Amino acid sequence: MLHAVLFLACLASPGGTQQLTAQPFAREVPVSLAPGEAWSWSGLPQGPQEACGVRYELPAPGVEGEPATASTVTLRESSAVVYAVVSPVVELHLASVGFRYGTGIATVGAQDWALAWAAPEPSRRRLLLARAEAPEGQGLTQVVPRGCYVFAVLVGDRAAATDAQLRSAYADGQRRWQEQFLAEVSPFWRLRRTVEHVPTGRIAILPPTGGESAGLSLVLSRTGLDRKLVKLTGEDLLDPARFSAQRFPLALCAGLEQHLRTIHRPNDAAEAVVRYLAEGGAIVMAIGWPFPTYYAVDADAPAPIPNQPLLRRLGIECTAAFEQPPPGSHLLVRPAEGQALLPGLPGSWPYPTSGDLRLRCFTPLPGQATRMTPLLEVRDEQGRLVGPCGALFELAGPGHPAGTILYVWSGVMNDTRVSETVACDLVRWMAARLEGVADAP
């Protein structure tokens, strides 16, 4: 093992004498310098370097050297500010650096680093700068890499921590890195940043449950939105103080093809949903089955009752386009022209060939003032419309627009080629609809 010790003696910089010194540490990570490989360190700089106003030095790795460490670096003395030159070795959104002080630790994720160096193509290697300040009256004592290697560590006192030029230069470097980070990071991470601003307790899950699509469930879980949802009971639906558009501007329909119709008196649960929409609520119907609300569930009935769709009470009719695609047909699914609610989808993709292939299309009942905006559609090989398979319905209230229903056919929500993309777009739509709404009291 190579034990490299670096000494950086107050290098002169345009702003004056640098107030940072190098921290020596043992290095045990060998790196490949083979040219032409995506993960090669070919071109890794050596000797004195500078990034964001910070001067640091890298040892020469040789042919197969050890210029970095994956282990915790313990500082010789506690410091008010620490800069770590690091490089991620896992997915960007998983990489971070912990800066320990006393019994606490300040974690700086890759999104808050600053770019120091990037290797030329095709290599995907880069060095980044992570900065942390100790809380007032305390000092940083360790650098803890998580999913990254540490190449250099620089420390400074309180004067260096409060130096305006160093702070400003690092902030500029963060802004430059941010665009590249967002271009490379997992789409779930990008969406998670959006979900952070979604208020807690403002999206309801309607009973019964169990029919959620796998794609939507995955996105809700990986973005953390599932922890902000409220699962309602049948009794909750009947209480306007617990179930209202003011309390829950959004609701998810997640009950296979079922809906609660009667709990204590005929149609009381169904009427509660009608009332919710009349108040201006919005329901997202993106389940794993083709006909949401087809079966009525009554408290005194032994089994769900078919052909009692709640959607028909709301002025929306279902058309059974087919049970299976016609033999020899070559159907395509594609976004409807001009729609902007699902921007992440490709131009078109083949109709599914496995799973539940029943196509169910929804349209406003004749004579209804409901406004329908098509989102997705199925077309044949000649480009002729077979039917819409996703739409936004804006229901008409007494003299003014009322609630909203967002429907996406199960064949799309179960199609692994597009389901996660659609689910991400649905979450973005929900987040935008809740913008400015506070957490539930």
32-41, 73-82, 333-342: which range is least confident on average?
32-41
Distance CA 380, CA 32 (A): 53
| DSSP code, position 94 | G
Backbone angles phi, psi at 52, to 5 degrees: 55, 35
The model's pLDDT over 409-426, given as tens digits with 9 standing for 90+, comes to 999 999 999 999 999 999
Contact (Cβ atoms closer than 8 angstroms) between residue 10 and residue 18: yes
Distance CA 263, CA 299 (A): 5
219, containing H or E segment: helix 214-223
Nearest C-alpha neighbor of 131 from the set 156, 148, 159:
156
The model's pLDDT over 371-400, given as tens digits with 9 standing for 90+, comes to 999 999 999 999 999 999 999 999 976 655
Nearest C-alpha neighbor of 20 from the set 85, 104, 107:
85
SS (H, E, C) 148-163: EEEEEEEEECHHHHCC
Average pLDDT across the chain, whole number: 90
**What pLDDT, on a 0 to 100 scale, did the predictor assign at position 397?**
65
Residues 6+ apart with CB under 8 A from 121: none
**pLDDT above 80: residue 82:** yes
Residue 399 CB: number of other CB atoms within 10 A? Answer: 6
**Position 93 confidence tier, pLDDT thresholds 50, 70, 90:** confident
**Position 3 confidence tier, pLDDT thresholds 50, 70, 90:** very low
Section 125-131 average pLDDT? 95
Contact (Cβ atoms closer than 8 angstroms) between residue 174 and residue 112: yes
- Length of the chain in residues, anyone? 441
Distance CA 366, CA 298 (A): 28
**What pLDDT, on a 0 to 100 scale, did the predictor assign at position 185?**
83
Distance CA 288, CA 269 (A): 23
The model's pLDDT over 172-205, given as tens digits with 9 standing for 90+, comes to 999 999 888 988 887 787 898 899 999 999 999 9
| DSSP string computed for 246-279 | TT-SEEEE-STTEEEEESSSTTHHHHHHHHHHHT
Distance CA 271, CA 313 (A): 9
SS (H, E, C) 378-429: EECCCCCEEEEEEEEEEEECCCCEEEEEEEECHHHHCCCCCHHHHHHHHHHH
Q: Which CATH architecture has domain 189-433?
A: 3-Layer(aba) Sandwich (3.40)
**What pLDDT, on a 0 to 100 scale, did the predictor assign at position 254?**
83
**pLDDT above 50: residue 240:** yes
**pLDDT above 60: residue 160:** yes
Distance CA 407, CA 389 (A): 8
Residues 6+ apart with CB under 8 A from 294: 257, 258, 306, 307, 308, 309, 318
Distance CA 177, CA 385 (A): 45
Residue 310 CB: number of other CB atoms within 10 A? Answer: 23
**pLDDT above 80: residue 159:** yes
More confident residue, 413 or 59: 413
Domain ranges of the chain: 12-185, 189-433
Distance CA 249, CA 2 (A): 61
**What pLDDT, on a 0 to 100 scale, did the predictor assign at position 17?**
57
Listed in sequence order, the DSSP H helices in 41-89 are none
Distance CA 306, CA 320 (A): 15
User: By percentage, how much of the chain surpasses pLDDT 70?
Assistant: 94
Backbone angles phi, psi at 335, to 5 degrees: -65, 145
**Position 287 confidence tier, pLDDT thresholds 50, 70, 90:** very high
